[in-house]
Amino acid sequence: MTRSAADLTQVKAWQARMEHALAQRLPTSDAEPTRLHAAMRYCVLDGGERVRPLLLFGTARTLGLSEAEVEAAACAIELVHAYSLVHDDLPALEDDALRCGRPACHKAYDQGTAVLVGDALQSLAFQLLAGDAALPASADVRLRLISLLAEAIGPGGLTGGQSLDVEARSQRSAADLEATYGRRTGSLIRASVLMAAACAPQRGSRLQEPLGKFAATLALALHIQRYPTAVGRAASRERLPRLRAEALEALSPLESAADPLRGLADWLLCRDS
């Protein structure tokens, strides 16, 4: 089996694991309030590539942790990602009728339910970090996980990026758009990597700088891959290989242990955008 085939096999296994883990941790749709719970499941399950959990699992493997030890943290980051998309789609923000080819939450249900779904998913994410039995029992580890996620979605991260994005895009430069992306999506990608490291404090704390650099560089590369017209297609073709090399170089201190992250980065940057 080639490396690319092995990487894809691992990606699919992690994606399947996440689908099951999320389904197990979300409220059942027959529990009250049934409409809210059904909408939560509608917005989280059967959609997306699970990029952030993949990065969390890849970092965990790099640091010698099993998927079981970080699965709840992976669920938390994906619940937060889902909540951000539900709110993004609302008429007051991006006013999108579709999400992944299906009606957005406010179209499948209603705007009030969509607001509450986002609130409930965010709350559930923090509940998992505080109380899920599968995570490390250390109070310091759990506090660090909660802090990382809160920072990622606060005004210096996701929410701040959403606020900046309310401004007219036509009046902002490519550099401004990159800065906004760094808050909106880059902050969650960085948190995915650092939350895995937080679950292995004895080793992860020493590697926070290279892991953080890897995540930030990869996030920028993913932005350019997805939105090549924002910087110009010719410029994006030139920058992507350089950013890929920088992201992989950041993993040098981890030597061969970082091969799961290297393979994942290659898959993310070589897939069809």
More confident residue, 182 or 59: 59
Mean pLDDT for 205-225 is 90
Per-residue pLDDT band for 169 (boundaries 50, 70, 90) equals: low
pLDDT of the residue at 126: 98
Give percent of the chain above pLDDT 70: 87
CATH code of the domain covering residue 96: 1.10.600.10
| Containing structural domain, residue 30 | 3-270
Residues 6+ apart with CB under 8 A from 146: 126, 129, 130
DSSP 272: -
Residues 6+ apart with CB under 8 A from 232: 174
Mean pLDDT for 3-10 is 70
Extract the tokens encoding 212. 């953080």
Mean pLDDT for 205-219 is 91
- Residue 55: CB atoms within 10 Å: 29
Mean pLDDT for 23-47 is 96
Per-residue pLDDT band for 13 (boundaries 50, 70, 90) equals: very high
| Phi, psi for 103 (deg, rounded to 5) | -55, 135
Q: How many domains does the chain have?
A: 1
DSSP secondary structure letters along the chain: --HHHHHHHHHHHHHHHHHHHHHHHSPPTTSSSHHHHHHHHHHHSS-S--HHHHHHHHHHHHTT--HHHHHHHHHHHHHHHHHHHHHHTSTTTT--SEETTEE-HHHHS-HHHHHHHHHHHHHHHHHHHHH-TTS---HHHHHHHHHHHHHHHSTTTHHHHHHHHHS-GGGS-HHHHHHHHHHHTHHHHHHHHHHHHHTSHHHHGGGHHHHHHHHHHHHHHHHHHH-GGGT-HHHHHHHHHHHHHHHHHHTGGGGGGGHHHHHHHHHHHHS--
DSSP 3-state assignment of 103? strand
pLDDT of the residue at 2: 47
Radius of gyration of the chain (CA): 18
Mean pLDDT of the chain: 88
| Phi, psi for 205 (deg, rounded to 5) | -65, -35
- The H or E element that residue 3 is part of is helix 3-25
Residue 8 pLDDT exceeds 90? no
pTM of the model: 0.91
Residue 205 pLDDT exceeds 60? yes
Mean pLDDT for 8-25 is 95
Count of alpha carbons within 13 angstroms of residue 61, beta-carbon side: 18
Residue 270 pLDDT exceeds 60? yes
**pLDDT digit string (tens) for 241-255?**
899 999 999 999 999
